Amino acid sequence: MARTLWLLGSLIAVGIGYILYEPSFDPESLRGARVVITGCSSGIGEQMAYEYAQMGAKVLITARRENRLKEVVAKMRELGAQEALYVAGDMGKAEDCERTIQTAKEKFGGLDILVINHLASTIDNKFFQFLWDGDMDYAQKHIQANYVSYLRLASLALPSLHRNSGSIVVVGSAAGRFGVPLNTLYSGTKFGLHGFFSSLRQELHIQKSNVSVTYIVLGAIDTVLGKKAIHDRGLDTKQQMAPVSSAAQAIIRGGATGQREVYYPWGQIWTLVKVWDFFPQVADYFLELSVIDGPKKLDRSPLLE
């Protein structure tokens, strides 16, 4: 009996240790690293650009708004980036993805870290606030910009990342691990990315490539877009928003140490994902409640009229 308890205790301790284990991370290891980050005009992308800059990396950033990119690049240089460049473009377009990776290869001579982070949320204002209505034009645009482009960028960068034993970091979402109402397309693309990159990780491993693949499971982060997502479901934007700088640091650390997945904010998001895995009905109940109870009045989907 005592022996069984002892064994059980050890197993639980090992389990907890495994969950809490974080490989040590030396920011110095990123000095001179050649990094591409997409979606850097605001939010977490912008913050990651500053964090990598402070660590003395060579960084190329992208976004659609050139005036914003110029400002971000100027600040990155002040913060100590070895090099700071930008490519203004729309990652939903194949030629802009190609131009981004090509520029990094030409200017940096290769690539060590690709952080795919962009979110074409401004294709129109429906984002985060509509019940699925069967709008296939919108779906196509969304999938092109927020899913296909991730596959494209990773594929373009892979030969160089392979030569340099580099890292792919995919900024995903908790909505890529469980469904969330008013989020059909967002959740769909983030789930898709989780599936694609989980398979890719295995394939790289089978082929003895050292390229690591990290999927980031983000909760509500205190960015303009994060606030919009909370606000649009009629919830209080003051609660439960994790700071953008620690989100950016968690992503950078996860990529640099080649972790499979990073949950941020850790406790809350890890728990939610596990509850959804084991008790999906319970999780659904609360996730549905968060919308039904919101002050926002939802119209019915036209598909149900």
Residues in contact with ligand NAG by CB under 6 A are 165, 209-210
Q: How far apart are CA 59 and CA 52, in angstroms?
A: 7
Beta carbon nearer to ligand NAG, 211 or 229: 211
Catalytic residue among 150, 186, 263, 264: 186
Instruction: In angstroms, give the least distance from the CB of 25 to ligand NAG.
Output: 18
> For residue 214, which of 263, 174, 160 has the smallest C-alpha distance?
263
Beta carbon nearer to ligand NAG, 165 or 301: 165
Beta carbon nearer to ligand NAG, 181 or 258: 258
Contact, 147 vs 253, CB < 8 A? no
Instruction: In angstroms, give the least distance from the CB of 209 to ligand NAG.
Output: 6
Contact, 75 vs 52, CB < 8 A? no
Select the residue whose beta carbon is closest to ligand NAG and give its number. 210
Beta carbon nearer to ligand NAG, 136 or 206: 206
Residue 285 appears among annotated catalytic residues: no
Contact, 142 vs 156, CB < 8 A? no
Q: How far is CA 20 from CA 14, 23, 247, 276, 282, in A?
A: 10, 10, 17, 20, 25
Beta carbon nearer to ligand NAG, 34 or 190: 34
Instruction: In angstroms, give the least distance from the CB of 115 to ligand NAG.
Output: 21
| 3-state percent breakdown (helix, strand, coil) of the chain, nearest 5 | 55, 10, 30
Query: Packing angle between helix 149-163 and helix 184-206, nearest 10 degrees?
Result: 20
Element (H, E) at 63: strand 58-63
Instruction: In angstroms, give the least distance from the CB of 200 to ligand NAG.
Output: 16
Q: How far apart are CA 297 and CA 108, in angstroms?
A: 51
Burial class (CB in 10 A: 0-12, 13-18, 19+), 241: middle
Instruction: In angstroms, give the least distance from the CB of 32 to ligand NAG.
Output: 18
Q: Tell me which residues are annotated as active site.
A: 186
